[in-house]
Amino acid sequence: MSALERRVPEMVVPIPPPPRGGILGPAYRTLSIGIISVVFLIAFEATAVGTAMPVAARELDGIGLYAFAFSAYFTTSLFGMVLAGQWADRQGPLRPLTVGIVAFASGLVISGTAGVMWVFVLGRAVQGFGGGLVIVALYVVVSRAYEERLRPAIMAAFAASWVVPSIVGPLASGTVTEHLGWRWVFLGIPTLVVVPLVVALPAIRRTASGPVDPDAPPVAFDRRRIRLAFGISVGAGLLQYAAQDLRWLSLAPGIAGAALLVPAVLGLLPRGTYRARRGLPSVVLLRGVAAGSFIAAESFVPLMLVTQRGLSPTMAGFSLALGGLTWAGGSWVQSQGRTAPYRKQLMVGGMVLVALAIAAAPAVLIESVPVWTLALAWAVGCLGMGLVIGSTSVLLLQLSAPEEAGANSAALQISDALANVVLLAGGGAAFAALGGGAVGAAHTVGEAGASASHPAAFAVVFLPMAAVALVGAWVATRLEPTPEPA
């Protein structure tokens, strides 16, 4: 029987072919606009909050916990990702996406009203849980609603939706921070939630809601995976706390965190991930190596420019704006059909570009080096990230059966977030150990001149991350599955 036919008594009825056209064709237009608007919201938050974060940390007397403000987001997102993977595979992506957007907005409100740094970090944690639910649910939507030929294009559209926020976000956030205060950055973004809710959710309900097989009996949640997800979140949090505390007493939570983290990671990621086994395990590992090294480094760029080179928050954030364009450009390149045969080479080259950009960033600690050189270097790194991140998403869906899309998407995002937590913990500990906690203590934002100079505290963050990115270039050579024996 042909794959495009369904046999019934006495006749053969052809099954209509899938709808043609692009992601903005009649069959996909509303859904595409809806889910791209969700990514736009996440992108605007990331660029705007990153610009306001140095000022928030300083006013809350929390520069020493600066890395924790970022890693708390990734720590709780780990649990949200595993929960969303199971939830979406069993009931469809609509509910986890809705709950995730609401939690995301709630976390912003908590951080925006915080009076002390730990409450601020708590808000980031709530926001991270919502972000974990959202990102996995979006991957499941793509897996269910789009033909395989369109998936590179929708991933490229996700990357392109970062362009405007990358340009407007730092400018708007910096202006609001300088004239109204950093709190209004956090409190203003939740108003953007309305558009994704109104546009995306009805379209998802029509095209991708419900289980893969509505006639199959409902499957219970895998409680073991939920426990492992809880363990990975608590373990990552304890490890981050130990890395930030830097006292002998912190060894106890550090050891406890590792004891929770290691078995949870082994149970939630594909077997062979940390041995870079060919195929899906290496795809998942590469996502973590790429995202972890780049995000851990990028988190310190605005702080470095504000405290060491005396830039305003607006200009510090705006120095990264060009990266939004080049990231989208890299994602567009990987989405083209004619580049598909060279995907592995593009990813290897992308990781080399990321490593070079991170290694070049601390050059601006030298007063004679113009600040604009960092903007150019970071644009090169973002080009590499566009090539790599879009490709890992495409490869993951190619290697996943429909009923496994949620679990495998969760594994990809877990690798992403876990690498961010671990590398931010390591970078944050090194930063604090070399005097980073005192950075910015001498001056207020906006004064001429840099704050207390601690160049070694920044260099010890960037250079190890460049080495990690180079490891990613090797992992990118192992993405093709091992051939089946004849």
pLDDT tens, residue by residue, 441-473: 444 444 444 445 577 888 888 999 999 999 999
pLDDT tops 50 at residue 299: yes
pLDDT attached to residue 348: 94
DSSP letter (8 states) at residue 19: P
Residue 424, beta-bridge partner list? none
User: Closest by alpha carbon to 322, among 376, 388, 384?
Assistant: 376
Between these two residues, 288 and 213, which has the higher pLDDT value? 288
Encode pLDDT of 121-180 as tens digits: 899 999 989 988 988 888 888 888 888 788 888 877 887 777 777 777 777 787 888 788
pLDDT tops 80 at residue 356: yes
pLDDT tier, 358 (very low <50, low <70, confident <90, very high otherwise): very high
pLDDT tops 90 at residue 384: yes
Task: With 0.85 as the threshold, say if the pTM is over it.
Answer: no
pLDDT tops 80 at residue 7: no
Of the listed ranges 273-277, 326-330, 426-430, the one predicted with least confidence: 426-430
What is the secondary structure of 272-291 as a DSSP string?
A: TGGGT-TTHHHHHHHHHHHH
Between these two residues, 354 and 70, which has the higher pLDDT value? 354
* Structure tokens that stand for 227 in this block: 């426990």
**Do 238 and 249 contact (CB within 8 A), yes or no?**
no
* Structure tokens that stand for 333 in this block: 């390149």
pLDDT tops 60 at residue 106: yes
Of the listed ranges 65-74, 193-202, 450-459, the one predicted with least confidence: 450-459
Distance of CA 458 to the CA centre of its chain: 22
* Structure tokens that stand for 456 in this block: 């070694």
Which range of 115-124, 172-181, 430-439 scores highest in mean pLDDT? It is 115-124
Listed in sequence order, the residues at least 6 apart from 366 whose beta carbon sits closer than 8 Å to its beta carbon are none
Q: How far apart are CA 335 and CA 152, in angstroms?
A: 5
DSSP letter (8 states) at residue 454: -
Of the listed ranges 35-44, 87-96, 199-208, 258-267, the one predicted with least confidence: 199-208
pLDDT attached to residue 427: 83
pLDDT attached to residue 447: 44
Residues in the chain: 486
